Each structure stands twice: as structure tokens, then as C-alpha cells.
Amino acid sequence: MIKIDQIIGGLRLATWGFLIAIAVFFIYLNGATKPILNFNNETNIVLYPEQCFKSPQELTQEYIDLCSIPQDYLKTDYLIIAAFLLIGLVATLISDKGKIPEMADIKEAQKITKDYLDSHKNIKLQDTGEIIDIGKYYISPNFLLPEERIGKDRIPERYVISAIITDLDDIEHNIRVYIHPFKRYLKGFVSADKDLEDSDRCTKCGMEFDVEYKDTEDLIKMKQLKKDWEAR
């Protein structure tokens, strides 16, 4: 499930909070440092008399009290607040970048599939290019979660969900749906001849097996395959 501390438009709530605070702060500064009229229309009083615009022969307390004007530059306090907000923003952005997102569970992956099928009139199979009009559908409870193994790391690569789509001619099509387990998007559809089984994980007779990369050449091939897949 997506928690409240997770992303909105790619950013966490804390990051959005600092962005809004910085925007409000600069709006306040714009009002606090803008020039003001020398004449107050409500009281008909000249704020700074003529002598204030001449260099005094002697800097008396009376002159200081009469002719002191609001500062038109940023106070040290303002600079400290701005520095605090910017440091907080940078810290949350670094935290967002380094944070590994929580993996979706199968219920969420199935819901992504359901929402997609409910909102589209047809789908396109990536392996054959066939377009299937959606009449009704059935999402099987069977699924697989192939992993990428790089050294000791085991990284879930995709949810493989089995489904049956009945088209407008009442013909059933077995398909498989690929869901990214972390980014939570539907990667595509491919054709199938039956529901998912354990044999689909077989490296020799299946298509949904774990992949283990042992050398640099394999890693290069993996990256190229990913680019080709995402370019479809």
C-alpha cells in the first residue's frame, strides 16, 4: 500500500512541505522589503519630512528617531531562515533519491491490472502485436515474481499475473500481465497458452525464470534488454 509518507508527483510530503514553506517565505519577503510611500493617505501625514533627505550637520537622537526608515535588505534572521529551509529541502531530496521504495504486494499488482483493464477498450500484445478488444476478463490468483540475481543480491524484477480476456466475439485469450513491483506501472501484455504453473519458472521450458548475472558481458546484455523493453 502507498503510505502518506510516500510520493506525490515523485516527491515525499516532507519535500513538498519545504517547497511550500520556501514559496511562502519569499512571498513574505516581497512584501516586507518593498518600498512604501512617504505620504500616509489615511492620516495625511508625511512620514519623512524634508530634513530627512539632507545630510545632517550633527547626527542627533532626534534626527535618528525622526528619519529612520525600514530596511530594504534582508536581515540576518531572514538569511538564517532561508538557509534552514534550503538545507531541509536538499536533505529531503537526497533522502528521496537514496530511498528504496516499498515493494507492492500481489493485491496491489492485481488492482493495477484491474484498473487498467477497466479503463481501456483493448490491449496490445507485445510479443505478437495482436490487439484484443476487451469484452470481459478474469484475473487468475496465480502469479510469479521472477528475480534478478546479481552476486548476493536478489531483486524482484516483475510481477507476472495470469489473466483471461474474452473479446467482443466471445473468444477467450490467455495472457500474462507484467507489473513493475516497485514503480507500480503496467509494463505490458504477452500471449500465453494456459494459466501460470511452477514449470514456467523452469530455465529450459519456461519463460518466467529468475535471471542470474555473473559477469560484465551478462550485465551489458541485461541493460540492453531493459532498454529494448522500455522502448516498446
State yes or no: pLDDT of 132 exceeds 90: yes
Query: pLDDT-derived band of residue 4, with 50, 70 and 90 as boundaries?
Result: very low
- Intra-chain end-to-end CA distance of the chain, in Å: 28
Q: How confident is the model at residue 2 (pLDDT cuts 50, 70, 90)?
A: very low
The pLDDT of residue 1: 39
CB 48 within 8 A of CB 69: yes
Check whether 7 has a pLDDT greater than 70. no
Q: What is the pLDDT of residues 57-97, one digit of tens each?
A: 666 776 666 666 655 555 667 767 777 777 777 776 666 55
- For the stretch 165-200, pLDDT in tens is 999 999 999 999 999 998 888 999 999 988 888 778
Assess whether pLDDT exceeds 60 at residue 40.
Answer: no
Burial call 24-35: b when 16+ CB within 10 Å, e when fewer: eeeeeeeeeeee
For residue 11, list its beta bridge partners.
8
- Choice between 19 and 62, residue whose per-residue pLDDT is larger: 19
Separation between Cα atoms, residue 81 and residue 63, nearest integer Å: 33
Statement: residue 138 has pLDDT above 90: yes
Distances (CA, A) of 207 to 160, 167, 172: 10, 25, 21
Q: Indicate whether 52 pLDDT > 60.
A: yes
Q: Where residue 44 falls among pLDDT bands split at 50, 70, 90?
A: low
In whole angstroms, what is the distance from residue 87 CA to residue 115 CA?
A: 40
Mean of the per-residue pLDDT values of the chain = 76
**pLDDT of the residue at 6:** 47
Phi, psi at 124, each rounded to 5°: -120, 125
* Over residues 205-224, mean pLDDT: 67
Instruction: Report the distance separating Cα 102 and Cα 108, nearest Å.
Output: 12
Average pLDDT over residues 105-128: 94
188: three-class secondary structure by DSSP: strand
Question: Which residue from 142, 134, 148, 147 is spatially nearest to 161, judged by alpha carbons?
Answer: 142
Give residue 110's pLDDT band: very low, low, confident or very high (50, 70, 90). Answer: very high
Residue with the larger pLDDT of the pair 22 and 194: 194
C-alpha cell at position 198: 511452477
Would you state the pLDDT for residue 28?
A: 73
37 or 170, which is more confident?
Answer: 170
**183 or 116: which leads in pLDDT:** 116
